[in-house]
Amino acid sequence: MKHIYKAGAQPDAPTILLLHGTGGTENDLIGLAEMIAPGAGILGVRGNVSENGMPRFFRRLAEGIFDEEDLIARTAELGSFVDAAAVEYGFDRSNVYALGYSNGANIAASLIFHQADVFKGAILHHPMVPLRGLELPDLKGLPVFIGAGENDPIVPRRETEELASLLSGAGADVNTHWERQGHQLTRTEAEAAAAWFKTQA
Ligand code: MLT
């Protein structure tokens, strides 16, 4: 997958997997990662799917309606890519945090739904429930920050709450931060994620 990698400042620094929103690139969330996790390694990935020229991580049939077969296949593809990148670049695969926005947060959530130890933790900005009817793996103690909008036109409040409760039901330690700026990833939401991340280190 098209990507950018930057090693962390220290060998024991975590690696942040950057997953952009629809129409983004592997570079989009670098500034955000530097603010949330200064000194961390960075693996920014570009989604392999193009929707009218806009990169995404999986196909959708309409806004918020996912092509589940493609989502499942792309989730596996991204998981394998991160495993291979850890070998290629020599970062610690067990110390990877996901940082995703919108479509990128949705595939990060899908990875978590499929694989217990895929991340050390996750920061999900405006995620949806990626798939329903799955039995989730044991997520005991997995720290997850969710940034959401009370008035997000793409992600209704009840969907954010459903995702939080699915994750906590499987044992994750979920922290939801609410804003009132629609689907936007605001400065204050980024600051809340940074404050949360500090409590993880
Ligand atoms: C998605 O397709 O993942 C959601 O609709 C969010 C987005 O617009 O990327």
- pLDDT surpasses 80 at 72: yes
Domain boundaries, the chain: 3-198
- 183 as an active site residue: the answer is yes
Integer CA distances (angstroms), 97 to 12, 13, 120, 154, 179, in order: 13, 11, 5, 24, 23
Q: What is the pLDDT of residue 43?
A: 98
- pLDDT surpasses 70 at 185: yes
Among 20, 28, 110, 152, which one carries the catalytic annotation?
Answer: 152
- pLDDT surpasses 80 at 128: yes
CATH of domain 3-198: 3.40.50.1820
Q: What is the pLDDT of residue 201?
A: 67
Say how far residue 180 (Cα) sits from the centre of its chain. Answer: 21
- Looking up tokens 């739904």 gives 113
With contact defined as beta carbons under 8 Å apart, do 104 and 20 qualify?
yes
Q: What is the pLDDT of residue 55?
A: 98
Integer CA distances (angstroms), 157 to 18, 65, 69, 106, 171, in order: 24, 17, 26, 15, 21
At 31, is the secondary structure helix, strand, or coil? helix
Among 102, 110, 125, 126, which one carries the catalytic annotation?
Answer: 102
Q: What percentage of the chain carries pLDDT values higher than 90? A: 99
Q: How far apart are CA 118 and CA 121, in angstroms?
A: 9
Question: Ligand 1 center to residue 11 CA distance, Å?
Answer: 34
Pick the residue whose CA is nearest to atom 5 on ligand 1. 64
Pick the residue whose CA is nearest to atom 3 on ligand 1. 103
At 78, is the secondary structure helix, strand, or coil? helix
Q: What percentage of the chain carries pLDDT values higher than 70? A: 100
**51-66 residue pLDDT tens:** 999 999 999 999 889 9
Mean pLDDT of 118-123: 98
Instruction: Name every protein residue with a CB atom under 6 angstroms from any ligand 1 atom.
Output: 21-22, 60, 63-64, 102-103, 106, 128, 154
Question: For the chain, what is the mean pLDDT?
Answer: 97
Closest CA to 112 of 129, 93, 125: 129
- 177 as an active site residue: the answer is no
Pick the residue whose CA is nearest to atom 9 on ligand 1. 103
